[in-house]
A = this chain, B = another copy of it.
Amino acid sequence: MVAGWSRVEPMAARPDTMTRSADNPSAGTARRTAPRRGEARKALMQAALELVSTEANFSAISLRRIARQAGVVPTAFYRHFEDLDALGLTLVEETFRELRRLLQDADLSALPLKGLTRHSVELFAHHVRDNRLLFQFVVKERFSGTAPMRAAIHDEIRVLTHALAAIFARFDEFSHIAETDLRMLSDLVVNTVIALSERILEVAANHPEDTALMLRAEKQLRLIFMGVGQWESRPEDRDETDRSPADG
């Protein structure tokens, strides 16, 4: 939120030369007067997230609106990002960096399979809620973003899916499942978790409905794992549906 550099002044702002004039409520009281390095960059990212959360999606908001929301002149944008796409890619990156950090800290493979489902669902759901804006951004851009952004998101999800398959492989309960089927399984699980987070994001923040959603997702995962017990992998099974899809 870049507080208050640029001597305020009346400034008689006509174009967007104004940074925090009457219609820009982001001013408040100037706390941090000095133009701290890299502050504006963060402010731009945050502004983009806020606008995407409010408006429809990323390609619907302009560079100038982002700058305005960040309390920064439009040209300042170019000091930190080459173009809007670069900003978007940075946000995607940050989202999955945070997510990977969470999963790494939680060390799921140390748990018994029994409690893994419930624990993972709760962990993930809370993380989504705590990083609402970031995940909202990614969910919206996953299919509607520009080609590079879509590719980036899908790559990240694919990596996560593989990692999950690797975790599954460590459990005895999955020893009878072929590698191909493990990917099929983790893909199903990831899809279910994504659907959960999409729903959490649709609902008002901290809404009590969240827990109902989590319960349902947990049930779905339990149902899936029940099927795993009876699953028989056929040796001839083989799929190649695993490469990056839309790198056109």
Contact = CB atoms under 8 A, between A and B. Distances in A.
A245 B141 contact: no
Interface of A: 56-57, 59-60, 139-146, 150, 154, 181, 184-185, 187-188, 191-192, 195, 198-199, 202-204, 209, 212-213, 215-216, 219-220, 223-231, 237, 239-241, 245-246, 248
Contacts of A239: 212, 215-216
A248 B212 contact: no
Contacts of A150: 202
B223 A241 contact: no
Contacts of A240: 209, 212
Copies in the complex: 2
Contacts of A215: 239, 241
A214 B64 CA distance: 44
B199 A245 contact: yes
A241 B209 contact: yes
B226 A241 contact: no
Nearest to A139: B143
A187 B198 CA distance: 13
A212 to B, nearest CB: 4
Contact of A246 (B202, B219, B225, B248): B202
B198 A143 contact: yes
A231 B220 contact: no
A6 to B, nearest CB: 23
Contacts of A56: 59, 144-146
Contacts of A220: 184-185, 187-188
Contact of A228 (B139, B192, B223, B246): B223
